[in-house]
Amino acid sequence: MEDSIFPATVDENLALAIRILLALVIILTMSALCGRLALVVRQPRVLGEMISGILLGPTLLGLMWPGSQNILFPQEVKSVLYVLSTVGLTFYMFLVGVGVDHGNGDPRGKRATLLAVSGMLPSLLLGAIVGFVSYRELSGSDVTRVEFALFLGGALSLTAFPMLARILYERRLQNSSLGRLALVAASIDDAAAWCLLAVLLSLHSGAGVWQSLWTIASAGGFVVFMLFGVSRLLHPLGARVARRGALGYDGMYTVVIVVLASGLFTDYIGIYSVFGGFIAGLAMPRDRVFREALHSKMMDVVSVLLLPIFFAFSGLNTNLLGVVTPTLVLPFVAVLLAGFIGKFFGCALPMRGFGFSWRESYAVGGLMNARGLMILIFVNIGLSQGLITQGLFSVLVLVAVVTTAVAMPIYRYALPEWLESGISHRPESPVLDQVA
């Protein structure tokens, strides 16, 4: 009688559509409520959306209503949710790539590169050490110790670039020297982490050394083709949008086809479609009008409809109650400390070396620690490809929630409003002319 809440029908497609529509209504309602609650407690909306997905899974709903997962989210519904979330993530990472300004030749961008490296390497190293030591307790048997350690380090080296950009724009700091440095450094961190993941997926494919080398070479060729070939072909589109101030239907068709084809190719070579979406974003025209037109057309649909599906799909695979077991408590603490310490001090110390105050440096260290959606995408790929176990997946999801939740309190404590207002109006030397 599990299915008694659904009307009887002989049309299997209609029955599946009813189940999916019900699941979407539940997912979006929970996402909207939790996102609003997050704003009430002065947290980013995305944190509430992340938590909403966890609450729909075995952590809360499954505990209170044991049969809910089979009734509301049976396997056939989860399969459709997976496809929708994959499409959503591909377009989201595309928009992230669109927002990365990689074409500016300002030599002061070296400071942003140094900040990115100093923020990424300590987290990568500490995470890899934790992964190397805890390999037997946390890893599956088909993953090598080196692959496991590098994956964990790569996950902890991420910064939630889109969230960081949103926070800085909301606080009108995007054009300050502090904001420009943090934005560019975060984009470099994320690009490097995705490249590392692409290499790990290739090596883990089990197809042999030559197949792995072919995959890596194909990925490299794809990047070159997109950034030096497709990008030039898209220049007329960017110029046309800059003249008209809008992106028409023909332009949208072109963009969507490029994104989907890129995701298809990277999926085909075994690297996952989100990498293709990200590179497609980097290949788009860098004109500000074009980027704003893309964001205005796509970001709301992706953020409001497709990303909550991804959060829900992640939550359905996450049981945070399992993290409190004796075998996972210590690994969770170790992973959390490795990620936080490496990113916080790795970013704060060079900021101080650049001449910023200790308060400004700690504020950037706190913001760069927010991993948000980016680490969720990273670990979902790792789980689907067998690089990590279900237990470590839950640990890393909780790390994502905790590091994202503490980012704003650290920032506000380090930079109270009376100091922040001075930064936003301070004359500065720009690292970049534009950051989306």
Q: How many residues does the chain have?
A: 436
CATH class of the structural domain 12-424: mainly alpha
The answer to whether 406 touches 344, Cβ cutoff 8 Å, is: no
Cα distances (angstroms) measured from residue 8 to each of 3, 16, 70, 72: 9, 12, 17, 16
126 CB neighbour count, 10 Å cutoff: 24
User: Read out DSSP for 176-195?
Assistant: SHHHHHHHHHHHHHHHHHHH
d(CA 401, CA 16): 32
Is pTM, for the whole model, over 0.85? no
d(CA 94, CA 436): 13
- For 371-400, the pLDDT digits (tens) are 877 788 888 888 888 888 888 888 898 898
The answer to whether 266 touches 272, Cβ cutoff 8 Å, is: yes
* pLDDT score of 345 more than 90: yes
Quick one: average pLDDT of 83-104? Answer: 79
Report the pLDDT value the prediction gives residue 231, as an integer from 0 to 100. 93
Q: Which pair of tokens denotes residue 55?
A: 């609450």
User: Read out DSSP for 180-243?
Assistant: HHHHHHHHHHHHHHHHHHHHHHHHHT-S-HHHHHHHHHHHHHHHHHIIIIIHHHTHHHHHHHHH
* pLDDT score of 368 more than 50: yes
Quick one: average pLDDT of 296-317? Answer: 87
Report the interhelical angle of 12-40 vs 75-99 (nearest 10°). Answer: 50
Q: Which pair of tokens denotes residue 408?
A: 């704003």
Q: Which residue, among 36, 40, 64, has the nearest Cα to 52 in the 3D structure?
A: 36
Report the pLDDT value the prediction gives residue 175, as an integer from 0 to 100. 63
d(CA 164, CA 145): 32
d(CA 115, CA 201): 27
Q: Helix, strand, coil % (nearest 5) of the chain?
A: 80, 0, 20
- The pLDDT > 70 percentage for the chain reads 87
- For 199-243, the pLDDT digits (tens) are 787 777 665 566 667 777 888 899 899 999 999 999 999 889 888
Cα distances (angstroms) measured from residue 93 to each of 14, 194, 335: 32, 11, 25
Report the pLDDT value the prediction gives residue 243, as an integer from 0 to 100. 87
- For 109-134, the pLDDT digits (tens) are 688 888 989 989 999 999 999 999 88
Cα-Cα-Cα-Cα dihedral sign, residues 428, 170, 156, 126: positive
The chain-wide mean pLDDT, for the chain, equals 82
Helix (H, G, I), strand (E, B) or coil at 355: coil
Instruction: Supply the Cα-derived Rg of the chain in whole angstroms.
Output: 22
The answer to whether 290 touches 62, Cβ cutoff 8 Å, is: no
Report the pLDDT value the prediction gives residue 207, as an integer from 0 to 100. 55
Report the pLDDT value the prediction gives residue 310, as an integer from 0 to 100. 87
d(CA 309, CA 263): 19
**Number of separate helices (H) and strands (E) present in the chain:** 22, 0
d(CA 184, CA 201): 26
Report the interhelical angle of 177-204 vs 358-368 (nearest 10°). Answer: 30
d(CA 288, CA 294): 10
The answer to whether 227 touches 283, Cβ cutoff 8 Å, is: yes
